[in-house]
Amino acid sequence: MLHRPTLHRHAASACAALAAIGALVLAGLPGTASAQTTGSAAAPRSAADTLGAAETSPALLTAMRRDLGLTHAQARHRVVNEAEAGATAGRLHLELGRSYAGAWVQGAESARLTVATTDAADVPAIEATGATATVVPHTLAALETAQRTLERAAARTTARTTAVDAPVRYVDVRTNTLVVQAVRPAAAHDLLAAAGIDRDLVRVETSADRPRALYDIRGGDAYYMNGSGRCSVGFAVTKGTQQGFATAGHCGRPGTTTTGFNQVAQGSFQASTFPGRDTAWVATNTNWTSTPYVKGQGGANIQVTGSTQSPVGASVCRSGSTTGWHCGVIQQHNTSVTYPEGTISGVTRTSVCAEPGDSGGSYISGSQAQGVTSGGSGNCSSGGTTFHQPINPLLQAYALTLKTTTGPGPGDPGEPGGTWAAGTVYAAGAQVTYGGATYRCLQPHQAQPGWQPPNVPALWQQV
């Protein structure tokens, strides 16, 4: 269930503390081992060790076994392999530059990495990392530019009805195309004509799905808005000394008051965006304390150690107040979807099921927070597709800090200076300085104490 971000401050016992939990904060793996200090002679740790994937929550592994058809060993092996693949993909994106055309993982256990390029001369460099190389006609940048053009067309008032009938648009790196899913194919073609996009870049798929925001909530621990509607709580966050949680924007507007699953006064929405994005955060009162956990299968605590974005094809699990724990895979990043209320851009499309009431709930890959539930189609009986709002843009937009098991930690008085700072959200390609050297970000994440660039080669590369 998606509701573990807060604990009652004045609980008299462990049972009382558990009873007061009222928010959903994702967590999957134990905290990472302490980072190396700058200049340490120890060998660099692997991406799996650095990002906490080497030790995996039993509850998360159980959900992966059930939903992905894996054995316990396969599930554990996959989480580790996906962490390593993400780091390799980040480095190759930096090295290939303009010819880069995307990356993804595949294979139930092996999570084999494939990297696409438009330049055949890149193949040896890709294969030298152990990844599979494929040469394609279109760069990722070209496809994403076409997608932005399409979104501008979909946002025009005259195209709103057309966009609702062609509601899902995304770049599919595995087929090197811009995909438009449409209830009526004619609507997709009209939208493409309005955008003036080269048809060689596009594939139109017919789908009966009409995604909608998951508003009406039934059953399970959750939070209530203004004493009536219900949504699932997302990740626990802080803003300075203020505690709270991230959730979906369509659940409430600034000023909307909330009560916990137990109907105890909880807090209020401080900021909310919907449509456009589907982001919000709630500041809680002093009776609620943010914790770095999300409620997993059977009520187990799943730890959150960071927010490194996983690649396409990676496993991902979701917790929600209606349907509990379910797992699937990441299908596409940077997807746009048109709900009846408007278009949401920049969400991630997954094969995880969800139902009304799961809105705002957490998605986690390994121990890394991925996003909060926005909407989708289908259900958890017949299967479905869901979209989550990535957590890093949400944290950045509202200047929030994700609550993790790594904790804020004491500062190192001897730490070298530079522009890198814990708590900052970094996008792939961002540059920082640290200890007199310059580093470039390989994977999107919010910087954590101990994750200084020299200590985390999975996230930073010196340039």
Q: Hey, which residues are catalytic here?
A: 250, 278, 359
**How far, in Å, CA of 246 to CA of 402, rounded?**
9
Provide the b/e sequence for 377-402 (b: ≥16 CB within 10 Å): bbebeeebbbbbbbbbbbbbebebbb
Strand 401-402 relative to strand 236-239: parallel, antiparallel, unpaired? antiparallel
The residue among 443, 448, 455 whose CA lies nearest residue 390 is 443
**How far, in Å, CA of 360 to CA of 422, rounded?**
25
Strand 132-135 relative to strand 112-117: parallel, antiparallel, unpaired? parallel
**How far, in Å, CA of 83 to CA of 367, rounded?**
10
| 205, amino acid identity | E
Give strand pairing partners of 330. Answer: 350
Helix, strand and coil percent figures for the chain, each rounded to 5: 25, 35, 40
CA separation, residue 101 to residues 161, 229, 258 (Å): 32, 43, 44
